Amino acid sequence: MKSVTILGSTGSIGVSTLDVLGRHPEQFHVYALTAHSSVDTMLQQCQQFNPDIAVMLDPVAAEKLQTAILETTVTTRVMSGPEALAYVASSAETDYVVAAIVGAAGLLPTLAAAKSGKRILLANKEALVMSGALFMSEVQQNNATLLPVDSEHNAIWQCMPVGDEQRHQFDGKGVRKIILTASGGPFRDADITTLDNVTPEQAVAHPNWSMGQKISVDSATMMNKGLEVIEAHWLFGLSSQQIEVVLHRQSIVHSMVDYNDGSVLAQMGNPDMRTPIANTLAWPQRIDSGVAPLDLVAAGRLDFATADFEKFPCLRLAYQALDAGGTSTAILNAANEVAVDAFLQRQIKFTDIAKLIEKVLHDLPANEASSLEQILADDAAARVLASELVA
């Protein structure tokens, strides 16, 4: 029996994770669930899974949850605040930590899980984008196990050579490059001249995946793929030149590994996050995820095309930040979070997102990403500058 903490249990990944856990009550115990402030969803999750602890980041939401729980038979203890997130991520009572908080807010609790040697099921790519070198060294030093939930990285993980001690360094192991597939988002067929006027509603309507708002906008700008390039760099120890992005509109091939001998290994499946979640929960075993079997004949065709850096400048900016190194990727991530938020609030245009990030990257000098303090300082500075530009 493995004990599981889900950071961000009320979100899209969190809900999918509970769906998989609910299919295997004999294998997994839910130790802790956490959320920002969605009391109703959390209460319903507590009634279904009766976790030991429920954390609401927001203290008012925590009080509401506590009151509601007292009227039920649920025995869950309610906690609140950022320290409580780190506590449930590092507690000796938990084996696995699912990192499914969105954005920079996920960094500290996920880092706490790494420091206490947990199996980390990583969905929160922003944590690696912000602090890749530091994060990977904490994972290594503390014997944590880092498994990628992000579907592309999970696909690559499944196609990588096995049997290595250093599982996160694949350079020099016969891997020529990896190919990340991208659906292209809702605007993949749109003319570049129409992108100025797209609305938040259009941007979050993803053709293949159902996801949280922030990552849906990131998919529309293709910043999501850019963040994934950076994530892949840290997870697999490959240079930016070894990480390629290819458009694949059906989202069936989740990514590929291209070997020196000409072999290209791909992982396929229906676009449903329960597959990579089940894979990381059960690894190295396999369990049922509830995902329908892939019907390739029904799918009919698999298309591949070049990703357009002019139409999707965020992808170019992410490669540039990765090559610039240091805190550049933390600055990129912070500016993107502010810009996406401003776009969702209708304060800036869709096409302003990339412009704003480029300006912040240009104006703010990056530093060496050698300490958490430096990373958080540059993250904060990028947010201030980005917010000024929005205003």
| Stretch touching Mg ion by CB under 5 A, among 26-34, 149-157, 272-280, 376-384 | 149-157
Q: Are 154 and 280 in contact (CB under 8 A)?
A: yes
Strand segments, DSSP code E, in 198-281 are 243-247, 253-259, 264-268
Q: x/- site string to ligand NAD, residues 137 to 156, per CB under 6 A?
A: -------------x------
Bridging pattern class, strands 175-182 and 253-259: antiparallel
Six token digits for residue 346: 């209708």
Residue from 29, 118, 119, 125 that binds ligand NAD (CB under 6 A)? 125
**Phi, psi angle pair for 148, to nearest 5°:** -80, 130
Per-residue CA distances from 243 to 121, 180, 225 (Å): 22, 7, 11
Q: How far apart are CA 367 and CA 325, in angstroms?
A: 9
- Please give the size of the binding site for ligand NAD, defined by CB under 6 A: 25
Other Cβ atoms less than 10 A from the Cβ of 251: the count is: 20
Q: How far apart are CA 64 and CA 232, in angstroms?
A: 40
For the CB of residue 123, give the shortest distance to ligand NAD in the complex, in Å. Answer: 3
Residue from 126, 138, 150, 231 that binds Mg ion (CB under 5 A)? 150
Tell me: is residue 150 an annotated ligand-binding position.
yes
3/151 with CB nearer Mg ion: 151
80/151 with CB nearer Mg ion: 151
| Stretch touching ligand NAD by CB under 6 A, among 162-170, 207-215, 363-371, 382-390 | 207-215
Closest CA to 98 of 20, 38, 214: 20
138/152 with CB nearer Mg ion: 152
For the CB of residue 253, give the shortest distance to ligand NAD in the complex, in Å. Answer: 16
- 299-312: b (≥16 Cβ within 10 Å) or e: eeeeeeeebeeeeb
Per-residue CA distances from 317 to 153, 201, 210, 359 (Å): 20, 24, 25, 11
| Stretch touching ligand NAD by CB under 6 A, among 204-212, 239-247, 299-307, 383-391 | 204-212
Tell me: is residue 228 an annotated ligand-binding position.
yes
Bridging pattern class, strands 119-122 and 145-148: parallel
Tell me: is residue 101 an annotated ligand-binding position.
no
Q: How far apart are CA 187 and CA 200, in angstroms?
A: 12
For the CB of residue 47, give the shortest distance to Mg ion in the complex, in Å. Answer: 31
SS3 assignment, position 124: coil
150/378 with CB nearer Mg ion: 150
For the CB of residue 183, give the shortest distance to Mg ion in the complex, in Å. Answer: 9
239/345 with CB nearer ligand NAD: 345
Look-up of token digits 């993250």: 379
For the CB of residue 125, give the shortest distance to Mg ion in the complex, in Å. Answer: 8
13/35 with CB nearer Mg ion: 13
**HSE (CB half, 13 Å, CA atoms) of 38?**
15
Where is the binding site for Mn(2+), in residues? 150, 152, 228
Where is the binding site, in residues? 10-13, 124-126, 150-152, 183, 206, 212, 219, 224-225, 228
Under the rule (CB under 5 A), what is the footprint of Mg ion? 150-152
Under the rule (CB under 6 A), what is the footprint of ligand NAD? 8-14, 35-36, 38, 57, 100-102, 105, 123-126, 150, 209, 211-212, 215, 273
